[in-house]
Structure 1
Amino acid sequence: MTTVKKQSTKTVLSARKLTKVYHTGAIDVWALRGVDFDLYANEMVVLLGASGSGKSTLLNILGGLDVPTEGKVIYADHDISHANDKALTRFRRDHVGFVFQFYNLIPSLTALENVALVTEITPDALDPAKALDLVGLTERMNHFPAQLSGGEQQRIAIARAIAKQPDILLCDEPTGALDMQTGIMVLQAIENINQELGTTTAVITHNAVVGQMADRIIYLSDGQIAGIDVNQQRLPASQLEW
């Protein structure tokens, strides 16, 4: 069954004329070329593009992990693109959750303890057990990472990212290291977070099929937005086939 969802018009994050140039010796590498981009409240966005298209650079700048060469990022009427390190750290801590291709869990801590690390430094955090329940891992909360599959470890990473109840969840190739069946389970966890908590979510992928579960698909090529598609009906992650 497809999901019909009214598009929100409330902007959570805006990027204008984002340009990123990396200087390598005498060579300039243009990762972004004047990108304009908005994230809307509660939506699910998929960023599609080949390797080198600028997807990760865009996500890193939106999340305050990197700064643009030119242009700006606006969050809550504040330009964070030229904020100092302290302000960017506060922005990432209080407002953004990150999920990467590799899970970065602490091997000596259980699933519950890995999630609890975030909740201890964040105001208004979810109970760690609740966060694990949202990704379907209640029964595995006392297991260590080495006792869990790759897909389960990635779902712990998602639980850790959303336990602080961020306004924005940014996922960079979250299924890149997983097989299809396991990847779908991870996408279902991300989908559930978006629907249950209303977390604005952006997912980077090179797999066009994943775009079917999004409200919008943003196509990137050569550091520019090449096109935008709007899905009137979202396909549940459980029905994706690739």
Structure 2
Amino acid sequence: MNAPAPIWKMAFMALVGPIFDCSLSPPQPPPASKELLKSPESFTTRFPRISAGFGKLLIRGWMLAEIAVPFAATDICPPALSKRIIELLVHSQQPSDAIARVSTLTPMFFIGGCMIIAGSLLRVACYRILGRLFTYELSIRNQHKLITSGPYSFVRHPSYTGALCFSLGQYLCFFEESSWLVACSGLFPRDEYVRTCLVWGIRAVLCSTLALYLYRRMNQEDAMLEKHFGKEWKDWTKRVPYKIVPWVY
């Protein structure tokens, strides 16, 4: 196999992975109990930070697998190491075909990766704009201010816009035919039709779950901010009527 194809995939993953990892890193420690909307021990309070930690582990494992398998296909990988990587990570009845697929940067995978980058950068920008006010837990901080500048002048929940974007990109990449999960993990059926139906079914379930979570989370956050800021929040919603996608919702 020619080296350029695997190297393109490796370089792209080396860019996507760390940026994605940053977007899942809580920018602030948990706020004080008196600042929280709900009890610090409640599941809804703890879930965002727990899920982000799990997501970081998942992303790091995914990144390593997506880099290691293409690396094993290059001439620069020592034969003994290449053999070991294939033994550990390639569980396919047609390993050569599986390795070739994972080593190719397909248009779908590239689009998904670009969505991850764009969504992650937007979310990190929100971290910086809000500063100490951005917490993974629903909270009203001491001397809390309503931030309406930057991306918050276009939608009221731009960090969730970023999360939606990188999550959809993640679903495209994870379950693409050239992904390690589909091509090499051995978890998906060999029959192409069955595999395609399963992949899109999983994507549909994940998208529906994400949409429901974001819908409930945004409504809770809006209610909390309206209660605290009153007229200031209502005036902002008149100027910025869209929650997550400009001119759509």
Whether the TM-score (by the shorter chain) exceeds 0.5 is no
TM-score (norm 1): 0.25
Larger Rg: 2
Q: Which structure has the highest helix share of the two?
A: 2
